[in-house]
Chain A
């Protein structure tokens, strides 16, 4: 029997989800064709907000990649618009002149943004916020212009405004009403929101009616009905959306506000279905994915001939995706005469919670500041639960894991995709899932707005118990279930000596590992056997392999060592000479007190190093980078000790060391701490007659203040204590954990205890010495090894016209 032809118009979130549901029910029943007028596979429109806010990239928001269509035998036409439906002949036609027949047709054309018909609205620099192109246009505008005006203080407008702030623009938000998000929030919450966003730098122009967009070719400003004007280089209209039902209407399908459908998402024309933002069901039009996904599920059942009760409408809940602002609302939001409410208002913590009750049953909720009850409330509203059910639980302050443990199985965890706790637990148990990513892949939970990710993570934790700890924190990478400690034990016990051998013997799932485990194993093997192990350059990240940091265009940087940040005219002259000779693109003083030469070609690296004839600064290394120093006692009126001298000794002692991650140190000669010891892996502060050694500081991605490890009297003790500390770190830290993470995990008291044992202290020092005894200068090693120089640095050039 030949397959039925199923055709989908609209390659968006609702349509493709419906296709997924159909494929689940009847994988082989249909020949599926999809038309989408955007040039991409189905992507997560919701995440455009996060793209604009810089939290993710366009490349990362694809929901169904090209492979997915191919694997499911779907013919996909992107960048092609369906322009007509002939419901009699059962064919559609497109703007590229294609004509295709269907047996069943799904219309999922979504919405079009509502553009205020203002004079001047066609000027350059006026945009909506709906698709990737809009998003790109805004990002582009932010690079060339300064001032943006967003019209609309609803969800979309505020998310756009936050994004534009992140992109460095000044932003005014214009809103017709006197409170923000008035459709989702009551006045109290609206005002709290406004205050919070103002403190983030947004400027609000409330109760303002836009009248005209002014400017020449490009927008220059916005004029209001009251005659006032504001300047603007970019105007984003986010005043609402309207169902995209024109195509259906022109084809004779019944349309009111949206395409009219029954509970089975059938239109008035046999064989034609509609789903998503373009439809109107029982008078309601929806603009959030949760209801649209429910519609798709019901429609799929009908199309595949499965019994169902049909779609019954949905209660909406909203969450604003602006970092630092937690708002949630669902169901009814303002009281009327009949309504009672439970309210918590904590001005100090900035928390406001209101639960609305009609006849003893929960009918709505508004949360500000603390929204972790949101999904639970939505569940309660959906089943019209008595208020007691909420209050009984609300009183106890539960931790995340306890909270999910106490939830009933039918409670919804992921609102967007309607995934219940029970469904997630089943998937975890039946398919042995251990991570949030796997749960996402199997159940779709947290696949849309991502608001429930922490709940899902808690649920994984409480379902698999201890295994979660191991899996989340310790498995070396996804090629193995073994933790670092287990791997190290096995290496020792079985005497393993190569990365490949470790992977083979310990049953890695991929033969040659990945970019996570290979460098880690290479490090562990070298750490365990410093004198015998031969470092594998193929298992090093590019920067370490080439002993230079790669730049975005594939050139490299060169940072010669400058012990303690001290230089001299001879070295400076050499640096200047090679900079000229090799035409480096930039000479910059780094944050680490030395000089960086940028934009060097790979094949020039060995000769530059040779001509510099200075040690490598190892600015690429997972190992010692710099020892920053202050001026010290020789010059500074507050200095108590020779910080430069001690810094130089430290740098000479540890240069070339391999470590789980980079190590930065500093020495200051008084508590003013000009070398910033509080944020270094090891920060020494010289006091009168004593040195304080601080450890575990970090000024990078995750700021951490260093903690006091020891107070010692002599420079020698500083060097030894530092060596013992670093060796203990080398031996016990996970690869890629900075000392900050490691100290946090071990606890400073534990580390102090270990170093307090005299024997251990000596042995750690001995093992550090052994390790340092084989260390070579990174650059010299290359210069002395011809094969290495050829294998790593030489390129091949082929002239044109070769045959």
Chain B
């Protein structure tokens, strides 16, 4: 299937609060992202849907490269999207580009490609 990679503007780097998540609605609401600016300055984007019970990860507590889901405290890597043991599951991750102090997220094919392989089992 043909699918275009769209590159969408999220915010200016300075406008994103450190160690907090931003809730990003894409399109008509079927897809929601959680965008985080980590303590080390990295910006990461994952789907805003906890693998446990679909909690809004954007409101979780951010520690290092992990976000703790605000619903039941699952620990999710914002880098590869995997839930940390003993919990199992993962969320989609999205590529982020920063140019001239502006943050872009790459949607489209990239999302499939970055789905951790273990997820294809379930």
Q: Which residues of A contact B (CB under 8 A)?
A: 39-41, 59-60, 62, 65-67, 70, 76, 78, 510-515, 518-519, 537-542, 545-546, 550, 552, 554, 602, 790-792, 795-803
0/1 interface trace, chain B 41-65, chain A, CB 8 Å (1 if under): 0000000000011011001111110
Sorted nearest first, the 7 A-B pairs with minimum C-beta distance are A800-B27, A791-B17, A515-B68, A66-B118, A542-B70, A554-B56, A538-B19
Once the chains bind, are B11 and A511 in contact (CB under 8 Å)?
Answer: no
Once the chains bind, are A539 and B88 in contact (CB under 8 Å)?
Answer: no
Once the chains bind, are B88 and A59 in contact (CB under 8 Å)?
Answer: yes
Q: How many chain B residues have a CB neighbour from A under 8 Å?
A: 46
The residue in chain A whose Cβ has the minimal distance to the Cβ of B20 is A538
The residue in chain A whose Cβ has the minimal distance to the Cβ of B63 is A512
Cα separation A792 to B60 with both chains bound (whole Å):
12
Task: Name the prevailing secondary structure of the A interface residues.
Answer: mixed
Once the chains bind, are A803 and B7 in contact (CB under 8 Å)?
Answer: yes
Given contacts A538-B20, A799-B27, A800-B27, contact A550 B64 (CB under 8 A): no
Once the chains bind, are B122 and A40 in contact (CB under 8 Å)?
Answer: yes
A-B CB contact pairs (8 Å), 7 listed = A41-B88, A60-B86, A512-B63, A518-B61, A796-B23, A800-B27, A801-B6
Once the chains bind, are B61 and A65 in contact (CB under 8 Å)?
Answer: no
Contacts of B117 in A (CB 8 A): 70
CB distance from A20 to the nearest CB of B (A): 16
Once the chains bind, are A67 and B85 in contact (CB under 8 Å)?
Answer: yes
Once the chains bind, are A78 and B121 in contact (CB under 8 Å)?
Answer: yes
Once the chains bind, are A802 and B8 in contact (CB under 8 Å)?
Answer: yes
Given contacts A60-B86, A552-B53, contact A515 B63 (CB under 8 A): yes
The residue in chain A whose Cβ has the minimal distance to the Cβ of B17 is A791
Contacts of B59 in A (CB 8 A): 542, 545-546, 550, 554
Contacts of A540 in B (CB 8 A): 61
Contacts of B26 in A (CB 8 A): 798, 800
Once the chains bind, are B63 and A514 in contact (CB under 8 Å)?
Answer: yes
Once the chains bind, are B88 and A62 in contact (CB under 8 Å)?
Answer: yes
Say whether B10 faces chain A, with CB atoms less than 8 Å apart.
yes
The residue in chain B whose Cβ has the minimal distance to the Cβ of A556 is B59
Once the chains bind, are B118 and A795 in contact (CB under 8 Å)?
Answer: no
Interface centre among B11, B55, B59, B62 (most CB of A within 10 A): B59
Once the chains bind, are B118 and A67 in contact (CB under 8 Å)?
Answer: yes
Task: Choose one: A67, A538, A550, A800; the contact of B61 (CB below 8 Å).
Answer: A538
Once the chains bind, are A796 and B86 in contact (CB under 8 Å)?
Answer: no
Task: Choose one: B27, B64, B73; the contact of A512 (CB below 8 Å).
Answer: B64
CB distance from A10 to the nearest CB of B (A): 17
Say whether B115 faces chain A, with CB atoms less than 8 Å apart.
no
Interface centre among A515, A550, A791, A799 (most CB of B within 10 A): A515
Cα separation A59 to B118 with both chains bound (whole Å):
16
Once the chains bind, are B24 and A798 in contact (CB under 8 Å)?
Answer: yes
Given contacts A67-B118, A802-B8, A803-B6, contact A795 B25 (CB under 8 A): yes
Given contacts A514-B68, A538-B18, A796-B22, contact A39 B7 (CB under 8 A): no
Given contacts A66-B121, A542-B70, A803-B6, contact A518 B63 (CB under 8 A): yes
Task: Choose one: B6, B19, B73, B88; the contact of A66 (CB below 8 Å).
Answer: B88
Contacts of B82 in A (CB 8 A): 67
Once the chains bind, are A602 and B20 in contact (CB under 8 Å)?
Answer: no
Once the chains bind, are B6 and A802 in contact (CB under 8 Å)?
Answer: yes
CB distance from A438 to the nearest CB of B (A): 13
0/1 interface trace, chain B 92-122, chain A, CB 8 Å (1 if under): 0000000000000000000000000110011
Once the chains bind, are A538 and B62 in contact (CB under 8 Å)?
Answer: yes
Once the chains bind, are B87 and A59 in contact (CB under 8 Å)?
Answer: yes
Once the chains bind, are B122 and A65 in contact (CB under 8 Å)?
Answer: no
0/1 interface trace, chain B 1-17, chain A, CB 8 Å (1 if under): 00010111111000101
Interface centre among B8, B27, B61 (most CB of A within 10 A): B61
Once the chains bind, are B23 and A602 in contact (CB under 8 Å)?
Answer: yes
Cα separation A377 to B30 with both chains bound (whole Å):
59
Once the chains bind, are B122 and A513 in contact (CB under 8 Å)?
Answer: no
Task: Choose one: B19, B24, B53, B61; the contact of A795 (CB below 8 Å).
Answer: B24
Contacts of B75 in A (CB 8 A): 514-515
Given contacts A59-B52, A511-B64, A550-B59, contact A798 B27 (CB under 8 A): yes
Contacts of A797 in B (CB 8 A): 24-25
Cα separation A803 to B87 with both chains bound (whole Å):
36
Cα separation A537 to B8 with both chains bound (whole Å):
28
